Amino acid sequence: MAEALDPAVPTHVDELAKRVLATACEHDLMLAAAESCTGGLLASLLTDIPGQSHAFERGFVTYTNEAKHEMLGVPMEVLDNDGAVSERSARAMAEGAIAHSHAHVAVSITGFAEGGPGQPAGLVHFACARKGGPTVHREMRYGDVGRAQVRLQALETALNLLRDQLAAARDAA
């Protein structure tokens, strides 16, 4: 198995995904994901749950700046000035996922699973957009815990953001 997929998704993350999908189904809301450093893992998790996966409308795996710009409409100025791993990029990705889908709620994930020059290992920016509501941002610094652990922890953070935005959408209805 590839290092980035081992260990398997922890049970509590799987249960959180089931709760997120159940809430979306209960309120007839569609979800989308715009992923970079997780490479589609969130979309895979959300489409792997029988009987509820229909609440996931689509996913965007936008690993390069060009993909973020072309698929989600992230302005090149944001990518050039702030970088792909930034609050502004995460917000633009989530809002772009809403604009380029039929989803009611979309989450974005962009970060550094491994470190490098000017790239602190484990720095991940998230945003969660909701039609008719505010876009929320979260920055996490997981540290140099390895590619797999950063990606798994990012799944949990993204699911928590989706859960919170779904609750806000439900309360606003």
Over residues 87-108, mean pLDDT: 98
127: burial class by Cβ within 10 Å (0-12, 13-18, 19+)?
A: buried
Number of domain units in the chain: 1
Check residue 151 and give left, alpha or beta (phi > 0: left; psi -120 to 50: alpha): alpha
Alpha-carbon 160 to chain mean position: 10
Q: What is the pLDDT of residues 42-90, one digit of tens each?
A: 999 999 999 999 999 999 999 999 999 999 999 999 999 999 999 999 9
CATH number of the domain where residue 69 is located? 3.90.950.20
User: pTM for this one?
Assistant: 0.94
Alpha-carbon 30 to chain mean position: 14
Per the structure, the complete domain to which residue 24 belongs is given by: 3-172
Q: Which residues pair with 106 in a beta bridge?
A: 32, 129
